Amino acid sequence: MNTRPLRFGAIALLATLALAGCAGTTAPAPAAESASFSSSDVWVKAADDGMTAGFGELTNTGDTDLTVVSATSPATSSMQLHETVQNEAGQMVMREVEGGFVIPAHGSIPLAPGGNHLMFMDVTSPLRAGDDTTITLTFSDASSVEITAPIKEFAGANENYDGGDMGDMDMGR
């Protein structure tokens, strides 16, 4: 009796089962929170260097809250999600947001001078009025969206930064 075809079939079956077992260890892809996200009126304050900020409206059309946990842009080496709050001395100051921006289900949050904003910590090349830059927002489920934001001249957005005046920190003027 020739057992070669039987051995070959058994080996093929074992190889198929081994490969199927490996495929089962792949982590599932993150849910796409970004599918229920939109933005409007997003813009960035013009700056030659130093610090500047991005503003606009972030909207969530989904049934659950969205949390923006980070932001990046090729225009800066570092970005932070900032809020403006009252410090112990009663002054309004900017500081990094703990836990990110929560956009409520079926709601929106404004990013505005004197409020929540996207802080460009170190502009790496001039952001000139009339140009555009991109901002990538990352959500708590690791999904992300890219936003194109026009650069605009703006005389405001010179708030105090926890420990110092933004004017002292060169907001690109």
Give the tens place of pLDDT for each residue, 135-165: 999 999 999 999 999 999 998 655 555 544 4
Q: Are 46 and 128 in contact (CB under 8 A)?
A: yes
Which residues span the domain enclosing 55?
Answer: 33-169
This prediction has a pTM of: 0.73
Give the tens place of pLDDT for each residue, 89-100: 888 888 999 999
Q: Are 87 and 81 in contact (CB under 8 A)?
A: no
Q: Is residue 136 part of a domain?
A: yes
Question: Which neighbouring-strand residues pair with 150?
Answer: 132
Q: Which residue has the higher pLDDT, 20 or 95?
A: 95
- Residue 13: in which H helix or E strand, if any? helix 4-23
Q: How many CB atoms lie within 10 A of CB 166?
A: 20
| Structure-derived torsion over alpha carbons of residues 98, 71, 169, 112, reported in degrees to the nearest 10 | -80
**Domain CATH code at residue 83:** 2.60.40.1890
Question: Which neighbouring-strand residues pair with 96?
Answer: 82
- Count of domains in the chain? 1
Q: Is residue 14 part of a domain?
A: no
Closest Cα partner for 121 from 165, 84, 76, 81? Answer: 76
Q: Is residue 2 part of a domain?
A: no
